[in-house]
Amino acid sequence: MTEATTHAKRSRPKRLLALDILRGITIAGMILVNNPGSWANIYAPLRHASWNGLTPTDLVFPFFMFIMGISTYFSLKKFDFKLTGPTIWKIVRRTVVIFLIGMFIAWFGLFLRGILNEKTLFEAMFSFDHIRILGVMPRLAICYGVGSICALLIRQRALPWFVGGLLVIYSIMLIFGNGYEFSDSNIISIVDHKVLGPDHMYSDTIDGVSLKFDPEGLLSTLPSIAHMLIGFICGGLITSTTDNSERINRLFIVGTILTFAGFLLSYGLPINKKIWSPTFVLTTCGLASSFLGLLIWIIDIRGHKRWCRFFEAFGINPLFMYCLGAILSIVFGAVRIPWSEASSGMISISGYFYRGILMPICGDATLASLCFAIIFVLINWLIGLILYKKKIYIKI
């Protein structure tokens, strides 16, 4: 065995099952909340906060962003945090791939709906006029790419100051740019309208007011990068010791400080996911850090692992499982089948399963909507389970 091989094995971070499980929980959660049987009938905890505020649903995406930061630390550690050609190539390649996958998902939805609406194949394939440019996957791509470069260019001791600076600058922008107002005068909306154009943005409705307002907009990517870097810093805290008890102490200390800071500052800077407010960053990173510490104690120290096997199927192929859920959701929602009870005589696969099967069984629209979401998660899990048992790892 060569000296380089020995060094690589010694420097390789010990794999934490708890981190895989947290990753799996967040992916399963993202699929669950994105696929109710009916958007009009959802239990309150499974809804996003309409504007200011925080619900359990608002935690799943930021938790995954936090985990991505930790994973990025593990990944860049293999390159000794040096900005070399191979490192840059790895970062750029992965950034582009994730971004293009996000664009493909957005395009696929438009394409399938175009075909079903009897557009020609050419028209359906090249209907980019209303494609949404940003979204979950593009945000992950941008935050991974920019955050990784920042982590390599800035000394790790200075990273907390850099993160704090980003959040302070963004706070000032929000305060003086109507950032907490759901309107066209919001600086976030203004930037997105000028750069992206309204036809390439998400449409949202709050209290009867409909606007083109993208929750994954350009300007709100700044605090998202800070969010990812907080996860990166926590990755350093985890790998700097092999003692899981010490890891738990560090994660709980960081989690407590960030959570309290986020809630206390929210009196002046409300917690708001749709603008990714600084207090949203602090609070969700704090909760994610504490939750990871709790999972390490339950899984890696106490050894209670049987309950978490379900989430491993999501955690080992996280981005693939998220994309699979998005593609299946588009197909089930777009493809229509004959149904005499529908006004048009046709109904989507999702609609038939919800209205034709679950509603009569459950007898309650909201319960049927929840059951649909759970069954949809199970369908994705079965596919993930096959990959898990065959040890097939699809890296994106």
243-276 residue pLDDT tens: 999 999 999 999 999 999 999 999 999 999 999 9
Whether the pLDDT of residue 4 is over 50: the answer is: no
Q: Identify the pLDDT of residue 345.
A: 80
Q: Which one-letter amino acid corresponds to residue 80?
A: D
More confident residue, 375 or 13: 375
Smallest CA-to-CA distance from 332 within 124, 84, 33, 35 is with 35
Residues 6+ apart with CB under 8 A from 60: 26, 29, 30, 33
Q: Confidence class of residue 14 from pLDDT cuts 50, 70 and 90? A: low
Residue 124 in this model has a pLDDT that exceeds 80: no
What average pLDDT is seen over the chain? 91
How many other CB atoms are there within 10 angstroms of residue 83's CB atom? 14
The candidate with the shortest Cα–Cα distance to 280, out of 66, 135, 132, 67, is 66
Question: Cα–Cα distance between 377 and 31 in angstroms, integer?
Answer: 6
| Residue 278 confidence class, pLDDT cut points 50, 70, 90 | very high
The answer for residues whose C-beta is within 8 angstroms of residue 19's C-beta and 6 or more apart is 67, 70, 71, 292, 295
User: Residue 277 has which token pair?
Assistant: 């407010």
Residue 149 confidence (pLDDT): 96
Q: What's the whole-number mean pLDDT along residues 108-114? A: 87
187-227 tens-digit pLDDT: 999 999 999 999 999 998 888 888 999 999 999 999 999 99
For residue range 164-181, what is the model confidence (pLDDT) as tens digits?
999 999 999 999 999 999
Inform me whether the pLDDT recorded for 13 exceeds 70: no
The length of the chain, given as a count of residues? 396
Q: For residue 153, what pLDDT is reported?
A: 95
Q: Are 24 and 309 in contact (CB under 8 A)?
A: no
- Report which of 308, 205, 290, 309 is spatially closest to residue 248, judged by C-alpha positions: 290
Share of residues in the chain with pLDDT > 70 (%):
96
Can you tell me the mean pLDDT for 30-39?
94
What pLDDT is recorded for position 2? Answer: 43
- Phi, psi of 338, deg, nearest 5: -65, 140
Rg (C-alpha) for the chain, rounded Å, is 22
d(Cα 142, Cα 214) in Å, to the nearest integer? Answer: 15
- Please give the average per-residue pLDDT across 379-385, as a whole number: 96
pLDDT at residue 340 in the model: 79
| CA 153 to chain CA centroid, nearest Å | 25
CA distance 262 to 256: 10
Using CA atoms, how far residue 310 sits from 1, 59, 96, in Å, is 38, 20, 31
Axis crossing angle, helix 318-334 with helix 85-116, rounded to the nearest 10 = 10
Which pLDDT does position 136 carry in this prediction? 94
List the chain domain ranges. 59-304
Is residue 15 scored above 70 in pLDDT?
no
Q: The pTM is what? A: 0.92
| Backbone torsion region of residue 213, taken as left when φ is above 0, otherwise alpha when ψ lies between -120 and 50, otherwise beta | beta
pLDDT of residue 100 exceeding 80, the answer is yes
Residue 282 tokens read as: 């602090």
